[in-house]
Structure 1
Amino acid sequence: MRLITYTHQGSTPRLGAQHGEGVVDLAAAAAAAGVELPADLISLIRSGDQAMALARELAAQAETALPLAEVTLQAPLRPGKIIGVGLNYVEHVEESSRSLDTASELPDRPVLFGKPATAVTGPGQPILHNGDLTRQLDWECELAVVIGRPAFRVAEQDAWAHVFGYSIMNDISARDQRRAGQWFFSKGMDSYAPFGPAVVTADEIPDPQQLDLSLRVNGETKQKSNTRHMLFAIPRLIADISSGMTLEPGDVISTGSPSGVGAGMTPPQFLCPGDLVEATVQLIGTLANPVVDAR
């Protein structure tokens, strides 16, 4: 299923199932059928398999759907935790060592950092550029893994069972706001986690380690790669993170960026107000966000 959160004609956010160019309002479908279904995506994920089975049935049986063009997409959910992964593509390790003073050696364990939920913004929503805080606003197209079941001390071979689905995250970074090597403020400011346009359930993605991903700025391709080039694959990330931290339903792992970030270009290129950033992941779609002046 393609699950979205949307508004329509000024409504409060609604949970929908997208079928092609149509959107089924799952709450309305549940009410019409006389059954109960969680009204938002994170609650649906936390409700488990039975609720998901009901959502699938309601979506399949729905007789009416809104045109996708008439709804406004929101971020699919607000995660409890966003765990970012740094230096997870070999070529990005090399370009980061040149431009960002990171180590040139490949890491032997995943490099992790956090982004707060307040950084999340949805499709079409602005990326805020505050020139008083940064002159080096950068992009990173990443596959986002949405956790479906609690995970603590999970072995790699069992990790897939804890994945609910996949989305896109643009790991926006103010490169000049790293503090003593720490990335939290650099990557955690408001609007620095564009997320969406949908969460595609795991059964719809045959192999998440074989997905093309790309990013364009004003129509010009800046990043182009495939998730097979990850240094640490998704099961390893889940096992490593859950070795000391409980992953909860609705948490998101942003699995790292390929090469082609602005800081690594010659000369460096950074986002400015008026730019349009489009991050695309195969089988999921495109997440587009304008950059606006926040001052």
Structure 2
Amino acid sequence: MRLLSFYRGSPKDSRVGIVYKDGKIIDLAYLYEYLYGTPPDWLTDLTKLLEGGSLTLKLVNELVNEFKKLDNNLPGGLLDEDSVMFLPVVKPKKIFCVAVNYNEHGKEAGSASIEEPYIFMKRIDTLVAHKQPILIPKVSSQVDHEIELAVIIGKKGKYISAKEAYEYIAGYTIFNDVSFRDLRKHSSPRYNINWLYAKNLDTASPIGPYLVTRDEIPDPHNLTIKLEVNGEIRQQGNTRSMIHKIPELIEYVSKGITLYPGDVISTGTPSGTGLGTGKFLKEGDVMVGYIEKIGRLENRVMRE
């Protein structure tokens, strides 16, 4: 399944959709209301849907089967992508990011690869959706892109072993770890990276457009990954080049930390960032991130 969060009128009227044939979107709450009456709240909040586990996912499949019985004839039931406004796919409690998880990016960043995953976190209110703008802030002139495969947690867990890790994954999406390179260094020589300013300014976490469920991507470590700016390829690689694979990352971040449905683990970026090329984002640029089997995440760059 390819699930999304969206709205049509007010952002407060959020909906859960599923991508149907030819890229059309079924509004699941609308379909449920047509068939049965008032929809449950998990059809308006994808994170709540994930909290319901396999039961709610099964019910979504049953809804789609009921839609097929209608011969796809539900007035207003199929939506074009251009007719909806995307929201961040989930509402996580936590966003974990992995630094230097591709060797080539480590080289351009001047950082050697390490045996232990190097994790930092991002503010949850930095999330922006597909086709929403990212901002060049007044305090930075070196705004950079990092296209990444993100894991969405689907089940509460703690001290999860690598062997069991896939059981805790709901699915995958695209994440752009927008970074502010001229704010990277801390002013004190005692410290290295200023994670607050380098990674956590407003709009620094584009995500989406879809959550593709785990069953549709049996091998997340063999996906083409690419980012273009104004049609120019800036980053290109394959997730097979990850140093620390997804099960290891889940085991690592769940040591003493409870993971909840909707939590995000972004798995690092390949080379080609502005940190290595010297090409930073400018006002008016359009970034498009692609990951095989997931889709494209597009964001325009604006000045604050």
TM over 0.5: yes
Map of 1:32-71 to 2, 5 A cutoff?
Answer: 32-34=34-36, 36-37=39-40, 38=42, 39-62=44-67, 63=72, 64=74, 65-71=78-84
Map of 1:64-213 to 2, 5 A cutoff?
Answer: 64=74, 65-97=78-110, 102=111, 104=112, 106-130=113-137, 132-178=138-184, 179=186, 180=191, 181-213=193-225
**Counterpart of 2:88 in structure 1: which amino acid?**
A
Distance in 2 of aligned mates of 1:233 and 1:108: 12
| Count of aligned pairs | 285
Shift of 1:107: 0.7
Percent of aligned pairs with the same amino acid: 38
SS of residue matched to 1:134: coil
Q: Is the 8 A contact 1:114 1:184 kept in 2?
A: no
Q: Is the 8 A contact 1:120 1:195 kept in 2?
A: yes
Question: Any idea what the Cα deviations from partners look like across 1:138-160, whole Å, max 9, x if unmatched?
Answer: 00000010000112111111000
**Counterpart of 2:283 in structure 1: which amino acid?**
P
Question: Any idea what the Cα deviations from partners look like across 1:233-286, whole Å, max 9, x if unmatched?
Answer: 000000011112111110000110011101101xx1111111111111001001
SS of residue matched to 1:263: helix
Question: Any idea what the Cα deviations from partners look like across 1:188-233, whole Å, max 9, x if unmatched?
Answer: 1111000001101101112111100000111100111000000000
SS of residue matched to 1:152: coil
Shift of 1:9: 4.9
Q: Is the 8 A contact 1:21 1:69 kept in 2?
A: no
Q: Is the 8 A contact 1:120 1:193 kept in 2?
A: yes
Alignment-derived partner of residue 17 in structure 1? 18
Distance in 2 of aligned mates of 1:160 and 1:143: 15
Q: Which runs of 5+ in 2 are unaligned?
A: none
Q: Is the counterpart of residue 224 in structure 1 residue 231 in structure 2?
A: no
Question: Over the residues paired in the alignment, what is the CA RMSD in angstroms?
Answer: 1.4
Q: Which runs of 5+ in 1 are unaligned?
A: none
Alignment-derived partner of residue 284 in structure 2? 274
Pairing partner for 2:248 from 232, 236, 244: 236
Pairing partner for 1:28 from 30, 40, 45: 30
Q: Is the counterpart of residue 291 in structure 1 residue 301 in structure 2?
A: yes
Distance in 2 of aligned mates of 1:239 and 1:275: 37
Q: Is the counterpart of residue 252 in structure 1 residue 252 in structure 2?
A: no
Distance in 2 of aligned mates of 1:192 and 1:59: 35
SS of residue matched to 1:151: coil
SS of residue matched to 2:257: coil
**TM-score (norm. length: structure 2):** 0.90
Question: Any idea what the Cα deviations from partners look like across 1:93-119, whole Å, max 9, x if unmatched?
Answer: 11111xxxx3x3x21111100011110
Distance in 1 of aligned mates of 2:80 and 2:93: 31
**TM-score (norm. length: structure 1):** 0.93
Shift of 1:59: 2.1
Q: Is the 8 A contact 1:214 1:279 kept in 2?
A: yes
